[in-house]
Structure 1
Amino acid sequence: MINNSSTIMFSNIVMMGTFISISANSWLGAWMGLEINLLAFIPLMSDDKLMSTQASLKYFLTQALASSVFLFAVIMFMLNSSKFMYNYYMEMMLFSALLLKSGSAPFHFWFPNVMEGLSWTNSLILMTWQKIAPLMLMSYIIYKPLIIMSIILSSLIGALGGLNQTSLRKLMAYSSINHLSWMLMAMYNSTTLWMTYFMFYSLLTFSMIFMFNMFKISHINQLFSLFFYNKSMKFMLFFNLLSLGGLPPFLGFLPKMLVIQSLTFNNQLFLLTIMVCMTLITLYFYMRLCYSAFMMNYYENNWMTYSIYNLFKFKNFLIFSFFSLFGLFIIISLYFMF
């Protein structure tokens, strides 16, 4: 992403569109905010690369389809508002359009393909900021049969889809779909809970993508030969991955623990079993990466020397890694202190 005036302008419009959606007092106002957000994000996605142009076109077509279904449902809902009978079909259409906008299964087909053509900065925006408005609108109108189906399918597809991926962007996309199932499950039980989960997820995703962007990593085979000069950096990178997967000693386990606790209190053990089993599969392909990078005998060239490109960026990565690795211990210590 080029740091110029147009980038700053479109970034501000993207944020403004999200704020309009989540603060609107009518569905029509929410639709308008979503459209502003979409039309400002397209120029940010499009740069000189062919893949990004293709990705922006795919993103535009799917989001335009979701927006048209959303607007149609809103208009039909307003026309039927004078009747006392509540129309569940309109609610289902609204919720389906928002699922398509957020990239949840079974409407996830566009998400990994679009991610593959974006830069890491735009991928971060797509995985975090662009989910805020659809998730917030979904929390207003929870359609029970559809959200349960989406929770089960998102956890299944997010886990199984990442097993055979070699591209880190697609791996992060399927990981995001799996995390979406946990967010939807948290939303089904509590509004505060999904916001908490989303904040932790955004922090962990930012720390990973900051690392990938700093060292220009795009594929799994680049991880094997990276950081031969500095094993501690390699440990931090893979511990961040395990934290994103939700392994217990790290910070990524905390939001999952809160959702598991909520599901246990509400006696939703069937959904809990499915989600925990699918998360174990995501942890498997993270562990497979770590095992390959640490345990296999890869050759090291003596002349391969690296330098940290920017000391300021390196310090930032260390700070985010510290929170990701030791954040759970800090939060538990503060809890018992106060």
Structure 2
Amino acid sequence: MLFNSTKLLLTNTMMIGVIMTICSNNWISMWMGLEMSLLSFIPFMQTKNSISSESMIKYFIMQSVASTMLLFSVVIMLIGVNMMNEMIMSMAMLIKLGSAPFHNWVLMIIETMNYYTMFSMLTILKLPPLTIMYQINTKMLIIPILMGMIMGAVFCLNQSSMRKTLGYSSIYNMSLMLITINSYKIMVIYMVLYSTSLIMLIMIVKHMKINFINQMMLNEHNNFLKINLWMNMLSMGGFPPLIGFLSKMLVIQFILHKMEYMLAFVLLTTSMLVMMFYMRMAFTSMISYSSFKKWSNYSNLTEMTIMTLNLTLTPMLISLTVIF
């Protein structure tokens, strides 16, 4: 996909919408920022796949419904009836986030998307709704959080598509971000760490042209690239001492500080299932016999950078927290 001037303009508009929502101090400006980012993102979803236009319409309808609900809750606030506005606004933001139980639209549209477009949807476009959720400061999120963790971990065990696996993983990670919604600093750190491990995994998966898990057995790449893929899978699952472990450790520490032991138990149990399906993909890639080329078009520098980031970022960040 060539990055032409139209897409450059749309990217700028999308980022202006995201920044506008994050920095606004009134609801109408936040709504305008959400609409700008929505309308700028839709053209990126167009691919050579014949049903990508259907995905674009589905995405537009779901986001429009959520935006309408947001405006409706703002109107309820303006007329002074404050019983329902928090619940309606929370539901609107959960729909925009694609969090459980409003997660089905993500899985319906994710299959036709380009990997980097999918990365933008799963990370950058989640920041504005998360900011609004932080502003609402709602206390009614325990059911969506539990549903997201259980559904994200259990339903992914039956998936063979790489994109749907990453989609379910996003639903699971979104629940962990919603746990830390009252602490904006921890939530942003979690989002940055999750985005880092996701973009590294997507770079390798896109280079290896993997769309389904069984294609990992047939790839013809060198062992160093396969080890990188394996490490990125483990990082996404939260295996120590990789990046994914640090983000999960922050959330567990936050939960224990709040003394919500039942939530910690559910998180640890579902983490085992998440680790299981990432381990399944990793072992499919590494252990199965396959021929490999003596050359690779992928830069050794890129591979080394990804491996170094995975291995050294967690000890560095932990040592920084000890120092400061």
Q: CA separation in 1, counterparts of 2:149 and 2:233? A: 18
The one-letter amino acid of 2:212's match is H
1:39-78 → structure 2 map (5 Å cutoff): 39-78=39-78
Could you tell me which residue of structure 2 aligns to residue 275 of structure 1?
A: 267
Q: Does residue 127 of structure 2 align to residue 162 of structure 1?
A: no
Could you tell me which residue of structure 1 aligns to residue 301 of structure 2?
A: 315
Structure 1 vs Structure 2 CA RMSD? 1.8
The Cα shift of 1:51 comes to 3.1
Q: CA separation in 2, counterparts of 1:24 and 1:271? A: 32
Q: Does residue 93 of structure 2 align to residue 98 of structure 1?
A: yes
SS at match of 2:158: coil
Could you tell me which residue of structure 2 aligns to residue 202 of structure 1?
A: 195
1:245-324 → structure 2 map (5 Å cutoff): 245-296=237-288, 298=289, 300-301=290-291, 305=293, 307-311=295-299, 314-324=300-310
Could you tell me which residue of structure 2 aligns to residue 144 of structure 1?
A: 139
Match of 2:102 among 107, 111, 124: 107
Q: CA separation in 1, counterparts of 2:307 and 2:40? A: 32
Q: CA separation in 2, counterparts of 1:307 and 1:14? A: 39
Q: CA separation in 1, counterparts of 2:228 and 2:207? A: 14
Could you tell me which residue of structure 2 aligns to residue 11 of structure 1?
A: 11
Structure 1 residues 295 and 264, CA gap change in structure 2 (3 angstroms):
same
Structure 1 residues 337 and 99, CA gap change in structure 2 (3 angstroms):
closer
Structure 1 residues 293 and 46, CA gap change in structure 2 (3 angstroms):
closer
Q: CA separation in 1, counterparts of 2:150 and 2:88? A: 23
Q: Percent identity?
A: 33
Tell me, yes or no, if the aligned pair for 2:205 and 2:229 is still in contact at 8 Å. no
Could you tell me which residue of structure 2 aligns to residue 83 of structure 1?
A: none
The Cα shift of 1:332 comes to 3.5
1:40-67 Cα distance to aligned partner (Å, 9 max, x none): 1111112342132222111111111111
Of the structure 1 ranges 48-57 and 217-226, higher mean CA displacement relative to structure 2 is found in 48-57
Tell me, yes or no, if the aligned pair for 2:95 and 2:103 is still in contact at 8 Å. yes
Could you tell me which residue of structure 1 aligns to residue 208 of structure 2?
A: 215
Tell me, yes or no, if the aligned pair for 1:251 and 1:327 is still in contact at 8 Å. yes
1:195-237 Cα distance to aligned partner (Å, 9 max, x none): 111110011111111112222221111212225x522221111
Q: CA separation in 1, counterparts of 2:69 and 2:319? A: 48
Q: CA separation in 1, counterparts of 2:308 and 2:54? A: 37
Tell me, yes or no, if the aligned pair for 1:113 and 1:170 is still in contact at 8 Å. no
Q: CA separation in 2, counterparts of 1:337 and 1:73? A: 45
SS at match of 1:180: helix
The Cα shift of 1:186 comes to 1.3
Could you tell me which residue of structure 1 aligns to residue 174 of structure 2?
A: 180
- TM score, norm. by length of structure 2: 0.94
Q: CA separation in 2, counterparts of 1:334 and 1:100? A: 36
SS at match of 1:236: helix
Could you tell me which residue of structure 2 aligns to residue 2 of structure 1?
A: 2
Tell me, yes or no, if the aligned pair for 2:235 and 2:310 is still in contact at 8 Å. yes
Could you tell me which residue of structure 1 aligns to residue 314 of structure 2?
A: 328
Tell me, yes or no, if the aligned pair for 1:205 and 1:244 is still in contact at 8 Å. yes
- TM score, norm. by length of structure 1: 0.91
Extract structure 1 runs of 4+ deviating beyond 4 A: 333-338
Tell me, yes or no, if the aligned pair for 2:229 and 2:282 is still in contact at 8 Å. no
Q: CA separation in 2, counterparts of 1:135 and 1:71? A: 17
